Structure 1
Amino acid sequence: MTKLQGLKRLKHIKAVIFDMDGTLCLPQPWMFPAMRNTIGLNDKSIDILHFIDSLPTEKERKAAHDKIELVETKAMKEMQPQPGLVDLMRYLTKKGISKNICTRNIGAPVESFVARFIPSELSVFDYIVTREFRPTKPHPDPLLHIASNLNITPLEMIMVGDSFDDMKSGRSAGCLTVLLKNHANSHLLLEHKELVDISVEDLSEIIEVLESLGN
């Protein structure tokens, strides 16, 4: 775990926002390449949703969305929870800290994951923001939307994710950012260290983070 920076700027944490793929569930490294392949997007520098939005007709955009949703449905069936998930959900519930999800996925995989892997008494999320909300991450807008609806400031929120988009969105919104580190994203700590406040390798480590902030 990296040393927490800028503690004095932080308030008591009232909400945690989680990314979905690779954060609440284990990474599925095949999924995004499969999504790109199915819509004929070979340029890795182009965002998948931006590419679909740029297609010239509504018919083409709908067809592309349908194709990537088929990939997401397959991925949904293979999802597995991250280590420490239930321990962290139990802690947040006990402490009365708001649980939220912000994902570029659709709603069905989120609902399936929560139903399958989080005990019902721990499974209440105040806001689940999917890609229907625009603009999506890495823009700060979905996180600011959650903060506004919770009637709190971004300084009272933590954004937990595993990607550049998650960290950029959280930093731009003004949240504390927590990177869930894995073998594929550790480069972010070197290339974009200004976006990451803390890195953890297990979701349960976030309990220690929250305790250190006086929660």
Structure 2
Amino acid sequence: MIKRCNLFGNENIGVFGWSCDDYCLVGSGIEKKNRLILEEILKVPIYEVNISQAKIVHTLSIGNKKGILAPRTIRDDELDILKKICGVATRIPHELTAIGNHILCNDNGAIFNPEYNSTIRKIIEDTLDIEAVPYNILKNEPGLVGTHAICNNKGVLIHSEADEEKLKEVSDILKVKADFGTLNLGYYPGAGGIVNSNGGVVGNETTGPEIMHLGITLGLND
């Protein structure tokens, strides 16, 4: 099932949270009605947190059922909270602190901004317990793989300006089916929704056809 809602008055709800099949992280202070929507649709525990004292949780972190990746700027107390949620949470020691913009992952694999070096690659792989591949989805916006796509363990929806070769490669790395698409009538699927294998929540500007296509691609219409 997929439902619409805005978070903090913004349709780009994917900036404020992300989910895997075991838990969901979202910026602290969301309205109760929206928390209930997330609980209903994603069917996992919802944790309201801050990353580097900010509510833009998906911009600044990403993870899967095995672990969470956070920026070097995260406070020690915030990192401790993430470790209590998932068990494993690791800082990325790099100046590219918008982790969620630069890494796309599920429980099967990950792609990441090629500006991250081999040391960062090992941190990603060890924390998430998956293979990680340096990758660009769009040549004119290199590295922003976390905004150019949205995925779960069933599928991945990719920026509509990517090409067929990229579609196949991302599908192979994440080990899921893939298709092009948009959310919120925009080009950045990663900013438009919060999804896992149980369901999805998307911004209020997302159209009916966009919701239907997301559901088909990510296997959420079952």
Normalising by structure 1, report the TM-score: 0.32
Going by fraction, where is strand more abundant, 1 or 2? 2
Normalising by structure 2, report the TM-score: 0.31
Going by fraction, where is helix more abundant, 1 or 2? 1
Relative contact order: is structure 1 or structure 2 higher (C-alpha 8 Å, sep ≥ 6)?
1
Q: Which has the larger radius of gyration?
A: 1
